[in-house]
Amino acid sequence: MTAAELASKIDHTILKPEATSAEVHRVATEAMQLGCAAVCVAPVWVGRVATMLRGQPVATAVCTVVGFPHGTAKSTVKAIEATSTIKDGADEIDVVPHLPHLLNQDLDAIKAELLEIARAARTTRRDVVIKVIVESALLFKALGADGGATALALACRAIRESGCDFVKTATGFHPAGGATVEAVRILKQHAEGLGVKAAGGIRDLALAQAMLDAGADRLGMSATVEVLEQLRRK
């Protein structure tokens, strides 16, 4: 795999709450120059980054987050946030659902929340890409190996049936941890048409490659520049 091929699978990310305008500008510029699939920024930066990318000869999408990082806002508030960021220029949104619904394996509750968000998002822009973050490490920690795998399978079903596009491993902010190769394998097994995004703690080339080998279609990373440099040195 070339550096360009790897970059095309990466959402180059800056979501730390203390990020400055200069840092966000740098990351967006890097994403364009490297040919990343997307640049992922907090909602407050979407309008500025969308303006930066407008008219550029690149295919880098503007991605943002909804209900981030804990998923504790009401679904109506998440729907409003999704609509607002899409109007600002977001091409893709990564949504944190209400985590107790995932832990309780409550299919109807998961679907009800995601349907409200997805309907609002699609009404604003039909082709917006919606990714849903399931905090896979939390599910395994709380439910054990078998229970976690069952919860991931149910989450994939709910995400698919609510009309969303991707299942994503983690925010990278939860203390339970981020992406694991095993979680990606399980998500890929149950995706059935969904894309799989691995995110949370991917900081070197070996782990990035392992995630892709396990079935990830996208990687969410803040260490993009360093990982691509590792690949170029091989």
List the catalytic residues: 94, 168, 197
HEC sequence for the chain? CCHHHHHCCEEEEECCCCCCHHHHHHHHHHHHHHCCCEEEECHHHHHHHHHHHCCCCCCCEEEEEECCCCCCCCHHHHHHHHHHHHHHCCCEEEECCCHHHHHCCCHHHHHHHHHHHHHHHHHHCCCCEEEEECCHHHHHHHHHHHHHHHHHHHHHHHHHHCCCCEEECCCCCCCCCCCCHHHHHHHHHHHCCCEEEEECCCCCHHHHHHHHHHCCCEEEECCHHHHHHHHHHC
* CA diameter of the chain: 49
182 neighbors 202 (Cβ within 8 angstroms):
no
DSSP bridge pairs for 195: 166
Joined together, the tokens standing for residue 39 give 């640049």
Joined together, the tokens standing for residue 234 give 């091989």
Q: 51: which residues sit within 8 A by CB, 6+ positions away?
A: 89
